[in-house]
Chain A
Amino acid sequence: MAKITLKGLRHSYMPDPAKPSDYALQQLDVEWEDGGAYALLGPSGCGKTTLLNIISGLLTPSHGQVLFDADDVTALPPDQRHIAQVFQFPVVYDTMTVYDNLAFPLRNRGVPEADIDPRVREIAEMIDLTDMLGKRASGLTADGKQKISLGRGLVRTDVNVIMFDEPLTVIDPHLKWQLRSKLKELHQRVKTTMIYVTHDQTEALTFADKVVVMKDGQVVQIGTPVELFERPQHTFVGHFIGSPGMNVLPCEVKGGKAFYGDIEVPSWNAAECPDQGGLELGVRPEFVSLSESGIPVEIAKVADAGRFQIVDARRADKSIKLLVPEGTDIPEKHAHLSFAADHTQVYREGWLVHGGQGA
């Protein structure tokens, strides 16, 4: 058990990186509290797996340090860091039984058999594999195998952190949900730090207490699922999280007021922004509503998403999406929209404009 600190971390796969784009990971300073459930979320190729491999020790970063509590483990190999990892594709030792698979990490560390047996049985019970203990691991289904991978991490008592690298990729959809809730339940039971890498927002938001959103080798925001939803620090977060993503519209700020086209749009942080053009306005579809007056738009498309209807409205070829509850009458062509002021925010070069009050 330990707090994990990443200090000034940068990594490049090239021997002599020069440009920032040579780096798979840009400057990173992150702290992972002991016992937290974290998700590392970002699109493919954003450096999630690189970061994960640096924490686990499969990769040594070009710059910076990895600290477990106060110990610098940057140069230590994986087996000396006391970490566990569950990979994208289930890794089991095919020729061994489930029992031997679970006992393997302990046997390698020279734990006496008398101590191994109760521990293996305890973990097998936790991950619902007690009935399978005598079976060959190769005979299990993908979700069973992933449970074994996880079990091999849980079985050790010295594990600082368990990392998951998109562990549900090969699992059937109806089992995904089960396994995800199992993970969450296990985390509450064992209280080991868990870091869960995924590009799936649902997985990240349901598993994690805190989500770390990454883009192009950088951390864009660390926050609870609610914070990511309500106060995206970057337009990317707004886009990437939420379905449909946040509307991002060009705007100007004049005298502490935001304008979209010629229309004034109330925004909670416009007053903190100096008068300037080239800004952007972000508002989630959930906080856009139809109204009597406001921004005039043309209704382009209405999609029924069950309890909601997703309305695609157009203004000067810009699309504004909004969610309206089912059963709401939607005008055929012309309509007016209004944005909820405390959820409409101004972004400069992609980043949320900060004044005295932040998110």
Chain B
Amino acid sequence: MNKIENQKAWFFVLPVLLLVAFNAIVPLMTVVNYSVQETFGDNTFFWAGVMWFEDVLHSERFHAALGRQMLFTFSILAIEIPLGVAIALTMPRKGFWVPVCLVLMALPLLIPYNVVGAMWNIFALPDIGLLGRSLNALGFDYNFTRQPGDAWFTLILMDVWHWTSLVVLLAYAGLVSIPDAYYQAAKIDGAKPFAIFRYIQLPKMKRVLTIAVLLRFMDSFMIYTEPFVLTGGGPGNSTTLLSIDLVKIALGQFDLGPAAAMSLIYFLIILLMSWVFYTVMMRNEAQ
């Protein structure tokens, strides 16, 4: 058998290569470039090796921001995933209310991020906001601009409000794809509602829930606009998540080297965690 040599086919790949280069590789490489150099202004750069990476990895400030980021991400995952599944389970499978529910669910997803932040900022203001005012009227000492605990509460509540819908829609899609025969068989086998959930609904939702967790993990780990508008990272540094800290370093202090090194570490953390999570979920599947 003769192998046909036809390298011209590579030209077909060229447009894609160019596109990817301009929107991903080139910007990423400039970041890599900054991360290994030191500058004293005047557009002169010096080779700095892995200095900035060492600095970032040893910096207390980075550890603290990373810690807050983890806390935030795992809190919202722990709330949004179970809550989303619970809501999806109560949604009707057929009839008039299906589209109504779906549209209602989709609404928060359609609101621009900065609008969400602004909405919740006003909503939660202790003196004039509906939420803040009500909580205070009920006797709670609530002030998200002064008390870190309240700021966190508001931040998480906002994210749950904004993004639980996504989990609901994905879980619902998984649920409606289960054929009736499964429920009928379970009925005949005498399965109780919990057993139906545990052995039919949950396994059938596994794929979409994997996607939901991945999406929510990545999104919440990169979240910027909403907390920036809501609290601006405060009070103090209490809600300064990784992305907010990064912007402070890059644009506030104009420390390009450390900011670039931090970006890359940030990116690698997300990549690594997504990969580990996905691999573990899919390995289970293969068994």
Contact = CB atoms under 8 A, between A and B. Distances in A.
A94 B204 CA distance: 9
24 contacts: A56-B188, A77-B187, A78-B184, A78-B187, A79-B187, A79-B188, A79-B190, A83-B188, A85-B184, A85-B185, A85-B188, A87-B185, A91-B181, A91-B182, A93-B200, A94-B204, A104-B189, A104-B191, A105-B188, A105-B190, A108-B189, A108-B191, A108-B192, A109-B190
A166 B184 CA distance: 15
Interface in B183-220: 184-185, 187-192, 195, 199-200, 203-204
A87 B204 CA distance: 18
B179 interface: yes
Interface SS, B side:
helix
Interface in A16-65: 56, 58
B287 interface: yes
Residue picked from A77, A84, A88, A104, most chain B C-beta under 10 Å:
A104
Interface of B: 179, 181-182, 184-185, 187-192, 195, 199-200, 203-204, 287
A136 B287 contact: yes
Interface of A: 56, 58, 77-79, 83-85, 87-89, 91, 93-96, 104-105, 108-109, 136, 149, 152-153
Residue picked from B181, B190, B203, B287, most chain A C-beta under 10 Å:
B190
A94 B184 contact: no
A74 B200 CA distance: 28
Given A79-B190, A84-B188, A108-B191, A95 B203 contact: yes
B192 A78 contact: no
Contacts of A152: 185, 189
A108 B181 contact: no
A58 B287 contact: no
A79 B191 CA distance: 9
A59 B200 CA distance: 21
A58 B187 contact: yes
Nearest to A110: B190
Contacts of A94: 203-204
Nearest to B181: A87
